[in-house]
Structure 1
């Protein structure tokens, strides 16, 4: 299918072929008929993308600070990769559309194939022939609905939420500052609900248009005597509310609102304006109320609502973003508002770049710009061949590698290192969106990109599958790949539950009896870090005491990582890393686990202390903290054995004490072992010498992290019984797993 994208690096824009989105639970596949270009939001995005790197930095100082922090922690190589990953990506545009349902995912109620719907949401209702939209971000349209008008869905909901925040009543007066698309929609709905509307703008064309279509009175914002004009228009009272739908860096709109409002009036900020108002004489003396309007309404930015489809009860939250969309569409279809005059331009999808040139260059007046699609239907081929691909290597020794998932971590640590391995040819890549899979395929020279993992799993030239998706899908893809006798590398964690763990163990042990004997590897990279290897050499073999402190930092509660169903939480998702390094150093598996949590277990598991005992007599303590200072190194490990003490700081510095003079080694860049881990695994898949993690050690790390959760639940020691205990014989494991 075709989709409009731009690259943030230079602002280049084009309509490209990408795999269509796959049908997922809780989502609806929609064939777009129309999508609306938001001249304000999207124009700003495109304008920023076309600036120089220095210009981009000036516009986004917060992101510059993040880059500098990454540079401090991880060094120039990883910082460069992280920045270029963003700049080189095909970024989707658009967030408001209307079309026909062509697929309904499980769990979706009230929608069927053939229904017409209006859609919203950045990253969902894109400028693309086919879009995948969560159920709560689309509304069913009545028969005979005008799809061109319905495509204003998102902006209509944003305008309506601003009106709700103003809490106006019949006969009251509202001033709308900023008469662009959002302001015009706001004025239309206010007037239809019996509110007197005064529109203000600095553009005479917008003033004239609103005076004819949506406002009782309309003026230039710089008109002398505006407070007196508004006072007379409101019967001597003053404006009951001011809704600011403008976008500017100036304080003038909010200070103007203060001058126009009656005592105890309300200012609602819908547009992008600063709020550093003058306290005297208006805001303080009038006791004015300042409110922010959050996009489409309640539910916005809540993954439980938007992604999982969990609705808010109407008795407690009357107007959600979905109900705002529905109310807007009802006003359109009933004829109470007429938006037809707003659509000043229409472009075919292939001509979309010209629409943005019009917005940025302002070669003529415009307001609403619609993109129109071929309603006959887009190609639903899930696989897109990359013509003229940049092949890094031709196929050697049958070593075809494909990826399922290629997010931030894979782009920074897996893909560059896999591509640099000798004897590897990159075959196919599957990601959650067509734009990301196309970006990865072009950047690294894959033969094809796809929306369906079967295109990879059934691909006869794919011998090895790398899995770097969200945690909840790891077990599913591992099992599918093993069943196809593919070598498997999966990012941590291996799985989220004991049931998944048992299924993987059963499948792995069964396929090991086949001729192919595929390898299974989990991305526990720290044991491959050069300083970790040297620490192990210095300590030697035998019982030891380990203390591992992780200054993990906080992760927002709404992040998918914290979601028990998607990410499994930070214990399942991250602690397995540190357990694996302890297994590597001690050459033995954990026997008992005891964990204690700071705070209420029902609220957070971010700060936890874990005590482990190992079969070989070693002991380890993991202190995982989310409440520390960001200036402190993230990882700190102390190891004690037979008069030797090793101190490892953030995989950049190692100290060895107790064997003569203290030895210190420092690295220029942090090296957590990802490159060596990939090199060893790929070498093993080629039948060469390669140090891979024994399967029982993978199971032990997984079991231990699951046992930590169990210990927290029981508030007692948990004994691990279901794994072998002696792994000393596997310390030099090569090629095949035991």
Structure 2
């Protein structure tokens, strides 16, 4: 299948073959008939991509700050890789489309194959022949629906949410600042509700279009003299009941002008991308104006449970969710209560999409809505996308499932293709990522189906997908007679762990977890100096805050931070002292969100060693992230952020400082591959992996039991 993509670094925009999208639980696969280009949101994205690096930096100061923070903590090499991954990635475009359902995922009951639907969501409703859409970002249409009109779904829902926030009554007056696509949709919806509309725009073309098609009752250009007086006269001296700002500008003029024309105790709703730093006087303070923000499509937006898991909000408590806003917009269209046909000023075949975006960026002629039309007679094929000619089998033949930021920055660069090591296939949730990774790291193909990966040619599987899929993929890998490297954690459920133990014993293939810190050169120095035996260990992690709605915190998807990250530190102490954990106790700081991400953990090991892990989400960002102290037989080792090491003993302290932080990823990957090439045991004993995973589960058990000690093997 084909999709429109752009590289953020060069701005190059192409339509290219990418893998067919994955059909996940709670999703449907839709063949697009139309998609709509958003001149505002997408236009600014495309313009930014075509700027120089300096221009990009000026547009995104927050991201520049993140780069500088990464440079400070991780060094230039990791920072360079992270930046280049962003710049080189194929970025999908589009977030509003309509088409026909051609596949239905597990658990989906409201859609069937053949249904006409309207779709929404950046990263979902892309400019592509076929898209995968979660059920709460997809609405069913009437068989007679005009799919070109329905493709305005996302923009209609955004406008609808602005109208909800305005909460206007029949006969009231609304001033809409900005008569682009979003402004005119807002005006049409409000007019259908019996609201009087005054439209304002800097563009005469936009104004004339809105007036001609009766989207507004009265329209003015912003530079018209006496504009405030005109609005006062039209409203019989009252002023606007509500002002909705749909413009996009860095100027403070819209917010201050809104204050000037709103009535006393009126309301201002920000729907567009404008600053909100209004002047207190002479209007906002004396009038006691109310300022409201409108968040995208409505309630449910950015909520993982709602958008990805399909968990709806009860209608009795949340009347208008983002999906219900979409449905309301589509109903206005189907019942012909609003007519948006005039908004589509240009239509391009999908193959000409780059030309359509040239029009948006260069503004060679006036436009409002731009529709892309797809060839619906074309059959969607699930073939893998070939990147290079098939190579001969090596001693190791590697395929990847999942290849996000971590895999691209910390795993793939260290797998050097050779006659002994061949890269076969890569499979990710997004076809754009699969395609770019396959090209950059020289895989034979990017896959569409799991069967493409679990074939006979692949004998070594790297799993770097989301945490909830690790356990099942490890099992599938073992059962298909493959060696498995899986990013931490090994799995999220004890039932999965038991099944993996059984499968590993049965098939006797290598299972390696990406516990990279034990492979750091500074860690190796500590190990060589202290050896094994009873020791006391302290590992403090200044982990930082991660919001509850992030997938890592979700117990079903990410497993939370104990299973998802603390397993790293349990493994580290296991490696350092040379024996497995046998008892665990843990206490978490009381947290209203119950995230269990500020916790003290005490571990007893088989050889008598003890370890304390302090994992803190409530610390200062200016403090280094990781700090380790090891005490053994008159010797003390202090490790700071995997950049600096001090070892105190009988003689002068040993000191070593690295230019760049080194957490051992390179050595880990190379050691793992070397063990396969030479037929050596796994670099991490499978029994240690099992013990560390069980100990992670027991940390959660101990927290739940108020800090009561739990035995790892019971």
Check the 8 A contact 1:428/1:449 in 2, yes or no.
yes
Secondary structure of the residue that 2:34 maps to in structure 1?
strand
Residue 462 (structure 1) aligns with: 458
Residue 335 (structure 1) aligns with: 336
1:445 to 439, 442, 445: 442
Residue 260 (structure 2) aligns with: 259
In the TM superposition, 1:54-133 aligns within 5 A as 54-133=54-133
Residue 186 (structure 1) aligns with: 186
Take 2:654 and 2:393, find their aligned partners in 1: how far apart are those partners?
A: 43
Check the 8 A contact 2:512/2:682 in 1, yes or no.
no
In the TM superposition, 1:265-664 aligns within 5 A as 265-387=266-388, 395=392, 397-419=394-416, 423-458=420-455, 460-512=456-508, 518-600=509-591, 603-664=594-655
Take 1:261 and 1:318, find their aligned partners in 2: how far apart are those partners?
A: 28
Could you report, residue by residue, the CA deviation over 1:650-670 in whole angstroms, capped at 9, with x for unpaired residues? 111111101300110011111
Check the 8 A contact 2:400/2:463 in 1, yes or no.
yes
Take 2:64 and 2:195, find their aligned partners in 1: how far apart are those partners?
A: 45
Distance 1:678 1:351, change over 3 A: same
Check the 8 A contact 2:394/2:419 in 1, yes or no.
no
What is the CA-CA distance between 1:591 and the residue it aligns to?
1.4
Could you report, residue by residue, the CA deviation over 1:681-706 in whole angstroms, capped at 9, with x for unpaired residues? 11111235576101000001101101
Take 2:359 and 2:394, find their aligned partners in 1: how far apart are those partners?
A: 53
Tell me which moved more, 222-231 or 76-85. 222-231
Check the 8 A contact 2:548/2:593 in 1, yes or no.
no
Residue 143 (structure 2) aligns with: 143
Take 2:334 and 2:628, find their aligned partners in 1: how far apart are those partners?
A: 65
What is the CA-CA distance between 1:422 and the residue it aligns to?
7.3
In the TM superposition, 1:7-26 aligns within 5 A as 7-26=7-26
Residue 717 (structure 1) aligns with: 709
Check the 8 A contact 1:174/1:242 in 2, yes or no.
yes
Take 2:468 and 2:377, find their aligned partners in 1: how far apart are those partners?
A: 37
Check the 8 A contact 1:545/1:641 in 2, yes or no.
yes
Residue 700 (structure 1) aligns with: 691
Matched, 1:157 2:153: no
Secondary structure of the residue that 1:118 maps to in structure 2?
strand
Check the 8 A contact 1:95/1:154 in 2, yes or no.
yes
Alignment gaps of 5+ in structure 1: 513-517, 723-738
Secondary structure of the residue that 2:548 maps to in structure 1?
coil
Give the count of matched residue pairs. Answer: 712
Secondary structure of the residue that 2:300 maps to in structure 1?
coil
CA RMSD of aligned residues (A): 1.3
What is the CA-CA distance between 1:315 and the residue it aligns to?
1.2
Take 1:207 and 1:382, find their aligned partners in 2: how far apart are those partners?
A: 48
Check the 8 A contact 1:682/1:690 in 2, yes or no.
no
Residue 656 (structure 2) aligns with: 665
Take 2:681 and 2:416, find their aligned partners in 1: how far apart are those partners?
A: 17
Take 1:586 and 1:95, find their aligned partners in 2: how far apart are those partners?
A: 52
Take 2:147 and 2:619, find their aligned partners in 1: how far apart are those partners?
A: 52
Residue 735 (structure 1) aligns with: none
Could you report, residue by residue, the CA deviation over 1:480-499 in whole angstroms, capped at 9, with x for unpaired residues? 01011111000000011110
Residue 731 (structure 1) aligns with: none
Take 1:541 and 1:158, find their aligned partners in 2: how far apart are those partners?
A: 61
What is the CA-CA distance between 1:379 and the residue it aligns to?
2.6
Take 1:549 and 1:486, find their aligned partners in 2: how far apart are those partners?
A: 36
What is the CA-CA distance between 1:378 and the residue it aligns to?
3.6
Take 1:398 and 1:589, find their aligned partners in 2: how far apart are those partners?
A: 33
What is the CA-CA distance between 1:148 and the residue it aligns to?
0.4
What is the CA-CA distance between 1:142 and the residue it aligns to?
1.0
Could you report, residue by residue, the CA deviation over 1:689-738 in whole angstroms, capped at 9, with x for unpaired residues? 5761010000011011011111111221111225xxxxxxxxxxxxxxxx
Residue 732 (structure 1) aligns with: none
Check the 8 A contact 2:382/2:448 in 1, yes or no.
no
TM score, norm. by length of structure 1: 0.95
Check the 8 A contact 2:394/2:422 in 1, yes or no.
no
What is the CA-CA distance between 1:423 and the residue it aligns to?
2.5
What is the CA-CA distance between 1:386 and the residue it aligns to?
1.1
In the TM superposition, 1:20-35 aligns within 5 A as 20-35=20-35
What is the CA-CA distance between 1:191 and the residue it aligns to?
0.9
Residue 736 (structure 1) aligns with: none
